């Protein structure tokens, strides 16, 4: 049996029934890493074999005699490199934090650690999660396991590629404007962005604080439900995490969609959209109809402003959040500076890449005296209208179904010179973050060039259960989630 092929719940079962040991899991995944990682480059810091084996031996020893496992025990999970891991470098894909070793774990990580999971590595991302392709990483791009000439999506491209290439059993990512769902769609895996406030962000390096959310990348919907249960819930360390009961998401998974009303927003299906994406998503909607869902056309008229609003709000918040990288408190400091001001400017000049600088400049401008109302104030007002669109729609339907990404994964290098084209990769995912609602991307097809396509299912705030239920019913009725890239290397 190839252990790396199993889903989280399958591997967990094997392990809890003592059919495999922690050492066997550690060995299998170390081997997989050695074989496949050089081709995919999903990780900035892959785990060392010796570390994994030492941890595995300790786990097997602990279980001797009385076998009592926790759900994530010995499960190899990858973590995006903007989520703090105590004692393990957390770079955010930036030269600025190239040497930064956090003194504490993010809350999501400490929950995993308390269950004796394996940290299989810290995954690659666009610098500070700004991008849609991982090409903005200071450490080089990740490659799409389906076709190495193509992007894996971004910014959680390393996490998505690691799951797709069976380098880990599941991964965590962060999603500010689509960074979990879009790479999940590109790599043919399941990507869940929970409701804003559902999961603690303590220890997530801030990009745009009113939008950022941690979520999961998994091989199927069952695994997403299981992992969400572990990471969701109030955390006193994060005042934006909501004190709302966490249901047992796995129990909400059903194979029928009977009684569910599904909205299809006409603004997401426009002339000139990619025919393969349109065809795959429309087929998914038909499938939902067969599963007894009631399909209804709806309208989200403010969608057309989402990208513009996002790039004012996200850059404004980023310019403020990134002010802390000044060469004094974290990471690198420019050498041979003359005086404090020069130290600040040189450090930021050398530490940040081009896209991060572009965003800091845009955001600083949008917040500056005289322009604040015209840009940031206006964007916040339109954001409220976008949220209202969703509120109205959810009076009539339980979930909303759309494409995740406008096209299958494009080629590496294709859009690096054209930031606007790159920004448009998130046209279907961004409004979800602006509204703060949960959404999942699930595989729904393959293009003629054998690149994955994903359908997005959006729900009401804190109704991840319905999103997961619909996603699971759809997934179980199809075979798309079982398709794997031809990794014969």
Contact between 111 and 145 (Cβ < 8 Å): no
Q: Which window, 21-29, 111-119, 171-179, 458-466, contacts ligand GLN (CB under 6 A)?
A: 171-179
Residue 237, classed as helix, strand or coil, is coil
Residues 452, 188: Cα–Cα separation, whole Å: 5
Q: What's the token pair of residue 320?
A: 């403020």
Q: Which is nearer to ligand GLN, 179 or 321 (CB)?
A: 179
Q: Whole-number minimum distance, CB 358 to ligand GLN, in Å?
A: 11
Q: Which of residues 284-323 bind ligand GLN (CB under 6 A)?
A: 314
Q: Whole-number minimum distance, CB 90 to ligand GLN, in Å?
A: 16
Residues 393, 390: Cα–Cα separation, whole Å: 5
Residues 335, 350: Cα–Cα separation, whole Å: 10
Q: What's the token pair of residue 462?
A: 């804190």
Q: Whole-number minimum distance, CB 426 to ligand GLN, in Å?
A: 5
Query: H/E element holding 62?
Result: helix 49-62
Candidates 93, 102, 121, 131; binder of ligand GLN (CB under 6 A) is 131
Q: Whole-number minimum distance, CB 189 to ligand GLN, in Å?
A: 16
Q: Whole-number minimum distance, CB 215 to ligand GLN, in Å?
A: 10
Contact between 474 and 286 (Cβ < 8 Å): no
For residue 174, list its beta bridge partners. Answer: 214
Q: Is 155 in the site for ligand GLN (CB under 6 A)?
A: yes
Q: Whole-number minimum distance, CB 404 to ligand GLN, in Å?
A: 12
Q: Whole-number minimum distance, CB 193 to ligand GLN, in Å?
A: 9
Q: Whole-number minimum distance, CB 179 to ligand GLN, in Å?
A: 3
Q: Which window, 102-110, 175-183, 198-206, 367-375, contacts ligand GLN (CB under 6 A)?
A: 175-183
Residues 190, 180: Cα–Cα separation, whole Å: 9
Q: Is 123 in the site for ligand GLN (CB under 6 A)?
A: no
Contact between 42 and 167 (Cβ < 8 Å): yes
For this structure, is 431 an active site residue?
A: no
Q: Is 134 in the site for ligand GLN (CB under 6 A)?
A: no
Catalytic site residue from 94, 159, 174, 179: 179
Q: What's the token pair of residue 146?
A: 């389906």
Q: Which window, 41-49, 97-105, 129-137, 386-394, contacts ligand GLN (CB under 6 A)?
A: 129-137
Q: Which is nearer to ligand GLN, 175 or 220 (CB)?
A: 175
> Whose CB is nearest to ligand GLN?
179
For this structure, is 159 an active site residue?
A: no
Q: Which residue has the tokens 């200071």?
A: 138
Size of the site for ligand GLN (CB under 6 A): 13
Residues 122, 45: Cα–Cα separation, whole Å: 5
Catalytic site residue from 94, 137, 155, 174: 155
Candidates 179, 241, 303, 404; binder of ligand GLN (CB under 6 A) is 179
Pairing type for strands 399-403 and 452-459 reads antiparallel
Residues 280, 401: Cα–Cα separation, whole Å: 12
Candidates 81, 426, 463, 464; binder of ligand GLN (CB under 6 A) is 426
Q: Is 456 in the site for ligand GLN (CB under 6 A)?
A: no
Q: Which is nearer to ligand GLN, 207 or 375 (CB)?
A: 207
Contact between 65 and 99 (Cβ < 8 Å): no
Q: Is 69 in the site for ligand GLN (CB under 6 A)?
A: no
Q: Which window, 66-74, 173-181, 198-206, 275-283, contacts ligand GLN (CB under 6 A)?
A: 173-181
For this structure, is 80 an active site residue?
A: yes
One-character DSSP codes across 317-379: HHHHHGGG-SSSSSS---TT--HHHHHHHHHHHHHS-HHHHHHHHHHHHHHSTTTTIIIIIHH
Instruction: Mark residue 205 as left, alpha or beta (left: phi above 0; alpha: psi -120 to 50; beta: remaining).
Output: beta
Q: Which is nearer to ligand GLN, 155 or 447 (CB)?
A: 155
Q: What's the token pair of residue 45?
A: 């810091």
The contact mask relative to ligand GLN for 191-230 (x = CB under 6 A, - = no) is ----------------x-----------------------
Q: Is 129 in the site for ligand GLN (CB under 6 A)?
A: yes
In the sheet with 452-459, reading across from the earlier edge strand, the strands are 43-46, 118-123, 76-80, 170-174, 214-218, 190-193, 439-446, 452-459, 399-403, 261-265, 294-298
Please identify every residue annotated as catalytic: 80, 155, 179
Contacts with ligand GLN, residue ranges (CB under 6 A): 129-132, 155, 175-179, 207, 314, 426
């Amino acid at each position: 049996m190839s252990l790396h092929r199993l889903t989280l719940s399958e591997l967990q079962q094997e392990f809890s029934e003592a059919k495999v040991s922690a050492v066997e899991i550690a060995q299998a995944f170390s081997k997989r890493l050695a074989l496949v990682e050089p081709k995919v480059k999903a990780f900035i810091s892959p785990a060392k074999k010796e570390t994994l084996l030492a941890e595995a031996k300790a786990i097997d020893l602990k279980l001797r005699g009385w076998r009592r496992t926790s759900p994530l025990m010995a499960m190899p999970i990858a973590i995006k490199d903007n989520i703090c891991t105590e004692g393990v470098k957390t770079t955010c894909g930036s030269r600025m934090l190239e040497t930064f070793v956090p003194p504490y774990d993010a809350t999501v990580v400490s929950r995993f650690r308390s269950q004796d999971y394996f940290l299989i590595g810290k995954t690659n991302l666009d610098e500070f999660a700004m991008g849609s392709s991982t090409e903005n990483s200071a450490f080089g791009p990740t490659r799409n396991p389906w076709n190495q000439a193509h992007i894996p999506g971004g910014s959680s491209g390393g996490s998505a590629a690691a799951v797709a290439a069976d380098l880990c059993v599941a991964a965590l990512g962060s999603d500010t404007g689509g960074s979990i769902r879009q790479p999940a769609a590109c790599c043919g895996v399941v990507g869940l962005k929970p409701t804003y406030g559902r999961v603690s962000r303590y220890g997530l390096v801030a990009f745009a604080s009113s939008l950022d959310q941690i979520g999961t990348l998994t091989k199927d919907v069952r695994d997403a439900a299981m992992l969400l249960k572990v990471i969701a819930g109030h955390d006193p360390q994060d005042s934006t995490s909501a004190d709302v009961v966490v249901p047992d998401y796995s129990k909400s998974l059903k194979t029928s969609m009977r009684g569910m009303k599904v909205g299809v927003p006409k603004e997401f299906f426009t002339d000139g959209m990619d025919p393969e994406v349109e065809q795959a998503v429309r087929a998914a909607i038909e499938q939902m109809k067969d599963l007894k869902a009631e399909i209804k056309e709806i309208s989200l008229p403010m969608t057309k402003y989402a990208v513009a609003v996002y790039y004012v709000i996200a850059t404004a918040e980023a310019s403020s959040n990134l002010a802390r990288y000044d060469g004094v408190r974290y990471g690198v400091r420019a050498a041979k500076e003359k005086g404090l001001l020069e130290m600040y400017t040189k450090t930021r000049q050398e530490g940040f890449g081009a896209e991060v600088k572009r965003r800091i400049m845009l955001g600083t401008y949008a917040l500056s005296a005289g322009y604040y109302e015209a840009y940031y104030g206006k964007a916040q007002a339109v954001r409220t209208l976008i949220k209202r669109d969703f509120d109205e729609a959810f009076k009539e339907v339980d979930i909303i179904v759309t494409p995740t990404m406008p096209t299958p994964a494009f080629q590496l290098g294709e859009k690096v010179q054209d930031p606007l084209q790159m920004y448009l990769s998130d046209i279907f995912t961004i409004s979800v973050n602006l509204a703060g609602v949960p959404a999942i991307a699930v595989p729904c097809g393959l293009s003629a060039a054998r690149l994955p396509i994903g359908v997005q299912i959006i729900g009401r705030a804190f109704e991840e259960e319905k999103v997961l239920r619909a996603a699971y019913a759809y997934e179980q009725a199809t075979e798309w989630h079982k398709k794997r890239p031809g990794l014969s290397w």
